[in-house]
Chains A and B, each alone.
Chain A
Amino acid sequence: MLRFILRRMVFSVGVLLVVSAVIFLLTHLVPGSPAIIVLGADASSEQVREFERRYGLDRPLAVQYLAWLRDIVLHGDFGRSYISGQPISGEVARTFPVTLEIVILAFLFCVSVSLPLGIVSALYQGRLVDHVARIFAVIGVSVPGFWLGLMLIVYGAVHLRLFPPGGFIPWSAGLGPHLQSVVLPALALGVYYTAIISRMTRSSMIEVAAQDYIRTARAMGLSRRRVLQYALKNALIPVVSVSAMSVGYMFGWAIIIEQVFNIAGLSRALLSAIFQRDYYTVQAVVLVITTVFITANVAADVVYRLLDPKIRGVAA
């Protein structure tokens, strides 16, 4: 297992390198100088040139890329933002935990609702609970995250006044206000994957329930509870994999959620940096999100191997 993890990690570093090059290239190929955004539309050509010289944007792309990569690898330095002039590492350190907390809460919501819902739907297939779960799933998958977020704000914050309309209130302001500030964003972020995973759990459970070994187990007189445990363990293999991957995807979806809920997290920093052509911030944040995604991927593989003995013998 250790060798497997090490091998995956080495492979992941390679993927990160390729991703970093692609991000760098794509970001710099977008037409329009960041100077226009930072200095304003009426900046003169000399001022634009001076800005580009100051930030090294007038150098060849390959030189810029290698210098950027060197600073990250040797010094852990993502560079400075054109906009704020502050080190991006500090910005990432400040915003990453915000997004991470929302994603974790969304994931917890997702798992704690989708698994029971999927299992119950499978067990009572065709019954009322199954139909209700299906309706929830269709709505959950169909409703756009930004719209759901706005609806939660309208009803949860504006009408009922149970939650703030947005913003991230730190722990230091008190546990209650803090949790209130993250409930709606986590809910808006988690609903889509709750719907997906609940349907996946249901179909997986139904498929496993029809297998010969379940019938054999029941024929041998095993208790219902024990039979369910066996079925669940097998049915959860694909579900666990998708759940782990959903953490990575949620970091991407958080862009919309953080924008709607006005949360100064990592994903909002990315969106803002894109609009402001803050190249270094865009590159740094995408790299961080890619790392999270790859980590989630590796974690999914590891859990997969732990759950399924058949895979353990197969070389990665």
Chain B
Amino acid sequence: MTTPQHGSPLAAGLDRRSFLRTAVLGASAASLAPFAGAWSVEGAEKVLTIAVPNNPSTFDPVNAANHDAMVVSQTIFENLVEVDPDGTLRPQLAVAMPKVSADRRVYTFDLRDNISFQDGQKLTAEDVKYSFEYVLDPKNNALRRPLFNRISRVVVESPTRVRFELSEPYRPWLYYLTKYMGIFPKGSREKHGADYFKTTPIGVGTGPGVFVEWRQNDQVVLKKSPNYWRKGLPYWDRLVIRTIPEDSVRVAYLTTGNVDVISAPPPKDFVRLKGVSGIKGESKPTMGGWFFLMTNTKKAPFDDVNVRKAISHAIDRQTIAKRVYYDLVDPVAIPAPPRGWWFSKEANDLNDFDLEKARAYLKKSRHPNGFEFEMMIPSQPYLLDVKDAAVVIQSQLAKLNININTRILEQGVLLQQLRLGNHVSALQVWMSPGEPTYMIDLCYGKDNVFSKSSGYENPELLKAIRESYHETDEQALKPVFARMLRILAEDSPHIWMGFVHSTNLWRDSVKGFEVNQGLTMRVKDVDKA
């Protein structure tokens, strides 16, 4: 085939400009000229737009699973008491904190008298009784029933007074209300059906936001409730919760003013952006955001406590927290946040970074010359991406001739492996209500959902957990938790890395936003200039 060097035969004598013109016209036609004007169309309404990385799967608080998406259910529904942004219990629909009987089995709440549901119906103690009885009825298969199943009876004493009788003392249950419970009108489940609460819960809450629409993978819209009991709130007329999975795109939405608040910014961007003009940012340590290596004590090499202790001592958590997560993780070697009242420095010192101790434990173990093991890592980050941390851990353990083979799995598959105890180890970040025993019981309790993730059983630990349920005073609880944490530090069924922070960035036009240690954004009191 002959190919002329300088233009084909067709080019000879042809009008070059006409070709160029055609090409340019074609390109211009396709690259549509930008139009002036804003793209976010807002009327006179005050619209607060927030962005979260994950899609909701339900708006029904009694079946809630995703902590990001709980912003919707927590704006629609309310509870007798709530956990505030700092992790403290406060009255919500109740006038004050409950009166607790001497035997810790009876809780009596007085309700506020000025509360109506979003449909205008007045809230009474009958609605509270109905809501709890719905959750407790096994037929309704409420996901969060196990958290409340020690409630044996709910008694209406008067239209504004309700009494809860527990089968045994169980201190944690109040902490679970905000995330996993809500009060709805008597008869509403029968009237609307269960799917109504899952997808279109219009008018059935007492919160400031009334459900308007949900477009999957796109956004949820709530509007201001005219019947909200806290007069003057909310400040916004409409709340738009957008799902934006890509970190960098979520950040771009914020910097261009297309959203007002974002959750879970990437740590590196968070540090940079919170100093940018027009943007504010804050982080707050969570009380229940565990970052940990889930080792299986039923499988080699983690069936040897000396191996687990060696690894725990060999990991320099400070470096990981600083270099990988820009101080958005509080490094600790025990399952208690350093800022929690139940934190025990003594227990933490038993497990913290110390290479000499690591070498000594390894020498005592069945693998004195080192070993290798498999570490599962989720492909899609939830809360924090652990891939970089895994690489750092890999290099830190290499000093002891311990080699890690990483295996990336989709989180759903990984969780299944953990439930069944099929794993050797997995690096995970989990969020919980922040009550001290929730995760401990879940992973190390007897026959619990994730008991096999550790394969660990210790009657002394179970006794301490149970003991902690009976006491409500923090001072009295401290020695119980110190004992619990010491047992866990000595046995190291899992290897704890730290507690993650809850982080948010917002435009400076947003007023009154406060980062919630419970991760879920709180927008009830938020205003926008």
Q: Which of A7-15, A167-175, A300-308 contacts B (4 or more CB under 8 A)?
A: A167-175
Q: Does B476 contact A (CB under 8 A)?
A: no
Q: Is the CB of B39 within 8 A of A169?
A: yes
A205 touches B8 (CB 8 A): yes
Picked from A33, A108, A207, the residue with its CB within 8 Å of the CB of B416 is A33
Within 8 A of B (CB), among A146-176: 150, 153-154, 157-158, 161-167, 169, 173-176
Report yes or no: B39 in contact with A180, Cβ–Cβ below 8 A.
yes
Q: Report the Cα distance A84→B72, complex, angstroms.
A: 14
In the complex, the answer to whether A177 meets B41 with C-beta atoms within 8 Å is yes
- In the complex, the answer to whether B30 meets A112 with C-beta atoms within 8 Å is yes
Query: How near does chain A come to B61, taking the closest CB pair, in angstroms?
Result: 13
Chain B residues contacting A167 (CB-CB under 8 Å) are 242, 258
The CA-CA distance from A228 to B15 in the complex, in Å, is 12
Nearest to A168 among chain B residues (CB) is: B218
Q: Which residue of A lies closest to B218 (CB)?
A: A264
In contact, A158 and B450 (Cβ under 8 angstroms): no
Contact with A along B1-42 (1 / 0, CB 8 A): 111111111111110100110111111011110111111110
Which chain B residues lie closer than 8 Å to A108 at the CB level?
29-30
Interface: B462 (CB within 8 A)? no
Q: Are B199 and A85 in contact (CB under 8 A)?
A: yes
Q: Are A122 and B8 in contact (CB under 8 A)?
A: yes
Task: Name the A residues within 8 Å of B32 (CB-CB).
Answer: 179, 183
| B-binding segment of A66-74, A254-262, A287-295 | A254-262
Q: Are B35 and A123 in contact, with the CB atoms below 8 A? A: no
* Min distance, Cβ A236 to any Cβ of chain B, angstroms: 14
Contact across chains for B7 and A176 when beta carbons are under 8 A apart:
no
Q: Contact at A153–B199, with CB atoms within 8 Å?
A: no
Q: Are B258 and A165 in contact (CB under 8 A)?
A: yes
A44 within 8 Å of B (CB atoms): yes
Within 8 Å by CB of A272, from B4, B26, B217, B449, lies B217
Report if A32-B413 is in contact (Cβ < 8 Å); known contacts: A43-B143, A153-B249, A173-B41. Answer: yes
Within A96-127, the residues touching B (CB, 8 Å) are: 105, 108-113, 115-117, 119-120, 122-127
Closest to B380 in A: A275
| Chain A: minimal CB distance from B347 (Å) | 25
User: Within 8 Å of chain A (Cβ to Cβ): is B253?
Assistant: yes
**Inter-chain contacts of A165 with B (CB < 8 A):** 249, 252-253, 256, 258
Do B412 and A125 touch (CB < 8 A)?
no
Interface-central residue, B3, B9, B30, B214, by most chain A CB under 10 Å: B30
Cross-chain contact A214 with B143 (CB below 8 angstroms): no
Identify the stretch in A16-24, A34-42, A137-145, A243-251 within 8 Å (CB) of chain B at 4 or more residues: A34-42
Q: Let me know if A241 is at the binding interface, CB within 8 A.
A: no
**In the complex, how many angstroms separate the beta carbon of A164 from the nearest chain B beta carbon?**
4
- Residues in A with CB closer than 8 Å to B13 are 224
Q: Is A47 an interface residue (CB 8 A)?
A: yes
User: In whole Å, how far is B31's beta carbon from the nearest beta carbon of chain A?
Assistant: 7
Instruction: Report whether A116 and B2 are in contact in the complex, using a CB–CB cutoff of 8 Å.
Output: no
Q: How far is the CA of A153 from the CA of B9 in the complex (A)?
A: 43
Q: How far is the CB of B514 from chain A (nearest CB, A)?
A: 26
Option from B19, B37, B449 in Cβ contact (under 8 Å) with A43: B449
Nearest-neighbour CB distance to chain A for B233, whole angstroms, equals 28
Q: How far is the CA of A117 from the CA of B3 in the complex (A)?
A: 18
Size bin of chain B's contact surface: 35 or more
Instruction: Answer yes or no: B442 CB below 8 A from chain A CBs.
Output: yes
With A85-B195, A165-B253, A224-B10 in contact, is A269–B246 under 8 Å at CB? no
Query: Which of B34, B63, B66 lies in contact with A180, CB distance below 8 A?
Result: B34
Q: A228-B14, A262-B244 are in contact. Are A209 and B9 (CB under 8 A)?
A: yes
Identify the interface centre among A81, A110, A111, A125: most chain B CB within 10 Å of its CB.
A125
Q: Are B143 and A39 in contact (CB under 8 A)?
A: yes
Closest to B40 in A: A164
Cβ of A199 < 8 Å from any Cβ of B?
no
State whether the Cβ of B215 lies closer than 8 Å to any Cβ in chain A: yes
**A153 to chain B: closest CB distance in Å?**
5
Q: Is the CB of A47 within 8 A of B141?
A: yes
Contact between chains at A277 and B258 (CB < 8 Å): no
B171 in contact (CB, < 8 A): no
Q: List A residues 57-72 near B (Cβ within 8 Å).
A: none
> A186 contacts which chain B residues (CB < 8 A)?
30
Greatest chain A CB density within 10 A among B199, B249, B442 is at: B249
Cα of A125 to Cα of B35 in the assembled complex, Å: 37
How does the 8 Å CB contact mask read for B440-474 relative to A, with 1 for contact and 0 for none? 00100000011000000000000000000000000
Chain B residues near A (Cβ < 8 Å): 1-14, 16, 19-20, 22-27, 29-32, 34-41, 55, 57-58, 63-66, 141, 143, 146, 195, 198-199, 214-218, 242, 244-246, 248-249, 252-253, 255-256, 258, 380, 410, 412-413, 415-416, 418-419, 430, 442, 449-450
8 tightest CB-CB pairs across the interface, nearest first?
A40-B65, A116-B23, A176-B35, A112-B26, A109-B30, A264-B218, A165-B252, A32-B413
Query: Could you list 5 examples of A-B contacts with CB < 8 Å?
Result: A31-B416, A154-B252, A174-B37, A179-B35, A214-B9
> In the complex, given contacts A207-B1, A209-B10, what are 9 additional A-B residue pairs having Cβ atoms less than 8 angstroms apart?
A39-B143, A84-B216, A112-B27, A113-B23, A123-B11, A154-B252, A187-B31, A209-B8, A259-B246
